[in-house]
Amino acid sequence: MAHQVNKLSAVVAARRSKPGLYGDGGGYYLRVTRTGGKSWVFRYMI
């Protein structure tokens, strides 16, 4: 079964302000820090 990717649109990602990890599918997460910084994270296992 395929994973759904791109669950977060650009508008939704821009509006996220509460700290945490927000899944986008396929191992990609939007990380929001306490100071409001945002970055994309790719998590994988070998």
In a domain, 17, yes or no: yes
Instruction: Give the separation between CA 17 and CA 5, rounded to whole angstroms.
Output: 21
In a domain, 31, yes or no: yes
Partnered with residue 40 across adjacent β-strands are 30
In a domain, 19, yes or no: yes
Query: Which residues constitute the domain of residue 24?
Result: 10-42
Give me the tens of pLDDT residue by residue for the chain, a chain 46 residues long.
566 778 888 898 899 999 999 999 889 999 999 999 999 999 999 9
Q: pTM (2 decimals)?
A: 0.80
Number of independent structural domains in the chain: 1
Residue indicated by tokens 């990717």: 5
In a domain, 33, yes or no: yes
